Amino acid sequence: MKCVYTRLLTDDELRAHLERGESIGFKGPAPHWQAIEEQIERLGFGDAYAVSRTGKGTGKGDEDFIRVSRLHAPEGS
């Protein structure tokens, strides 16, 4: 499942997605990819997920998209 948000998630919300092995996207004004990356690391999922940013880099934030995706398939898949 892939979910897209226009706001940052709380630790509990993000943890639930990561535990289920879901891909997550963030779009809208100035998503903070470094904050998302640090949150994933702090929650203990830094080795399992990658954070990437796409967009035209205009600085306006409305064209940026942050993707959080698994680096490898969960065990038993």
How far apart CA 47 and CA 67 sit, in angstroms, is 16
Arithmetic mean of pLDDT, 18-37: 85
- Whether 69 shows a pLDDT value over 90: the answer reads yes
- Whether 25 shows a pLDDT value over 60: the answer reads yes
pTM of the model: 0.78
Compute the C-alpha angle 21/56/11, nearest 5°.
30
Please give the share of the chain, as a percent, with pLDDT higher than 70.
78
Query: What is the pLDDT at residue 15?
Result: 97
- Whether 54 shows a pLDDT value over 90: the answer reads no
Compute the C-alpha angle 34/38/66, nearest 5°.
45
Q: Which domains are delineated in the chain?
A: 2-70 (3.30.110)
